[in-house]
């Protein structure tokens, strides 16, 4: 398995968990109705792209993967707010 594959899969898993678990718990939408199914193929395509890029430039591929992970944690994508915001709301540290 390539070095970037774990990072990319973690990015996709965090984004999917945000849409399925964290957003509904924070009061933003329903678990399965508002799920963005395009996350699954997008994660697979991104993993393949990073695998190909890793054979050319490993440091660049890891850098892009880590940047995508940080962006997925802090930015709003799809139907849900940012994972950090939703988790903070669930834990009682943020407003709805």
What's the chain's Rg over C-alpha atoms?
Answer: 14
Distance CA(23)–CA(27), nearest Å, equals 6
Q: What is the pLDDT of residue 90?
A: 84
> What is the structure's pLDDT at 95?
57
pLDDT (tens place) for every residue of the chain, 96 residues total: 689 999 999 999 999 988 888 888 877 767 777 788 899 999 999 999 999 999 999 999 999 999 999 999 999 877 788 899 888 888 888 755
CB-based contacts of 28, cutoff 8 Å, min separation 6: 79, 80, 81, 86, 96
pLDDT at 11: 96
Judge contact between 65 and 7, C-beta under 8 A: yes
DSSP state of 38: T
What pLDDT is attached to residue 68? Answer: 97
| pLDDT score for 92 | 85
Domain ranges, ordered by start, for the chain: 5-91
């Amino acid at each position: 398995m390539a070095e970037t594959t774990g990072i990319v899969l973690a990015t996709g898993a965090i984004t999917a968990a945000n849409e399925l678990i964290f957003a509904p718990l924070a009061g933003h939408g329903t678990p399965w109705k508002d799920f963005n199914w395009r996350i699954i193929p997008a994660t697979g395509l991104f993993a393949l792209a990073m695998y190909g890029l890793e054979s050319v430039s490993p440091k660049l591929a890891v850098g892009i993967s880590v940047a995508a992970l940080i962006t997925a944690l802090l930015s709003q994508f799809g139907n849900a707010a940012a994972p950090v915001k939703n988790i903070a709301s669930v834990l009682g540290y943020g407003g709805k």
